[in-house]
Structure 1
């Protein structure tokens, strides 16, 4: 089983703590305070041994969290009965957005899933509608994992991959998209954040430069591509990105600036929503 990069653990916890500070929607059956209860005791320790400043992440987290929350609410309103949250970490959507007849599947590494289960049990939260699923997306077939977990491939699903692909190797991202397509009934939707660099740059050079500049060569970031490369990957694995050809319809936030080959560039986090 793949061992998690400690920097990724820190990023995961920064995101969890940051999201808990945001005002986020809940359903009539949901628990609006679940997020804060779920992250009690997390510290997001940085490389210097000190807790990270979560306030620095809020500008990135706020639009991203709102975008994916609204997708879940829209899916529920449309009658979708399955929501698969990939790399869910300590995300509380299954608790805030609980709705009769809707099953949530939260997937993550075994250690994270075990800790989340412990935290949920400690808070006495109703999890009858939630299935926690241990998976290693580097070695496991996500289609097989979902099938064993009770996911029904005959009914539409909303698949969420928020802030996940960046931390997977490109080949693992491709396998993930293909595996999800295998489980996607007609009417299913896949929503993913994709890190995007300018089209005329080499992706390997961008990734290695970002790693060196931001993490001193020890970083957990692996997949940053041009938008065209992302669209081609979605198409190759059977997914059709909504508004793929309309630049004015791109939903995105600026993630970070970096200089690659003596050229200042902006890496964007684009929100890609696709149908099978």
Structure 2
């Protein structure tokens, strides 16, 4: 449902494209999609627009910059119904869109009936909670000897901490010199215990059945990146959007979605 909400929200904005790209691909790709909540009720996608407004351009620009710099591989982790592989089509550039098997199967069906070139796109099914992303990419034809832009927009929040570590390690093993990794990281203020923050979010916002699993301090995110061979760019300049606020350990705590880009 969250993938659908994001996909429907993104097409509400004017988005950039390359000269060879398809500017209308996004709307065509999500035609007929409906965002249905856990109780079977339609979800209000307008609630996502405030988060998407700064986030979508950030990742769009990263892909444009990579294409212009001659990076020939873009790996979209948790791609959902994202259309960047179509909007940013460029001679010689291959896009790898990874997501859950049911999402990948539906996206493949939608791409098949679209009147647009998809020969540069590889779809790969993966369960990020258990699978070895490195093996999935190798099987999909990703070239670990060539630089790659890896992006994970609105993904790691939904993975358990161990899954996030496996993801970063797997991506790192496929990252040649010149590669970059960009993610959205949910960040709580320093001085709080991350497990307490996550459990409080679960209790307060989702009555114990929450889908959000990984929220860390900025320093903890930085350390995790470094452990896996990544150096955060412009570490002192944070691009972020306030996500939600809630009481933790007797104080009001603001959780931010921070946009983190690192080089190998």
Distance in 2, Cα, partners of 1:61 & 1:182: 30
Unmatched tracts of structure 1, length 5 or more: 1-9
Question: In the alignment, which residue of structure 1 is the partner of 2:257?
Answer: 269
Q: Which residue of 2 aligns with 1:11?
A: 2
Corresponding residue number in structure 1 for 2:31: 40
**Cα deviation digits, residues 121-148 of structure 1 (max 9, x gap):** 1223321000001111122111111011
**In structure 2, C-alpha distance between the alignment counterparts of 1:68 and 1:118, rounded to whole Å:** 25
1:253 aligned to 2:244? no
Aligned to 2:123: 132
For residues 34-113 of structure 1, what are the structure 2 equivalents within 5 Å? 34-113=25-104
Per-residue deviation, 1:262? 2.3
CA distance in 2, matches of 1:185, 1:50: 45
Q: Tell me by how many angstroms 1:165 deviates.
A: 0.5
Moved more, 210-219 or 188-197: 210-219
Deviations 1:219-258 (A, max 9, x none): 21100000010000000111111122x2xx1111111111
1:199 aligns with 2:190: yes
Equivalent residues in 2 for 1:79-228, closer than 5 Å: 79-228=70-219
TM-score (norm 1): 0.94
Matched residue of 2:240: which SS? Answer: strand
TM-score by length of 2: 0.98
Q: Distance in 2 between matches of 1:207 and 1:71?
A: 29
- SS of corresponding position for 1:128: coil
For 1:77 and 1:34, the matched residues in 2 are separated by: 21
User: Runs of 5+ in structure 2 lacking a partner?
Assistant: none
Task: State the secondary structure of the residue aligned to 2:104.
Answer: helix
Q: Please give the secondary structure, in 1, of the residue aligned with 2:37.
A: coil
Structure 1 residue 49: Cα displacement:
2.3
Which of 219, 223, 229 is matched with 1:232 structurally?
Answer: 223
Task: Give how far 1:48 is off.
Answer: 3.8
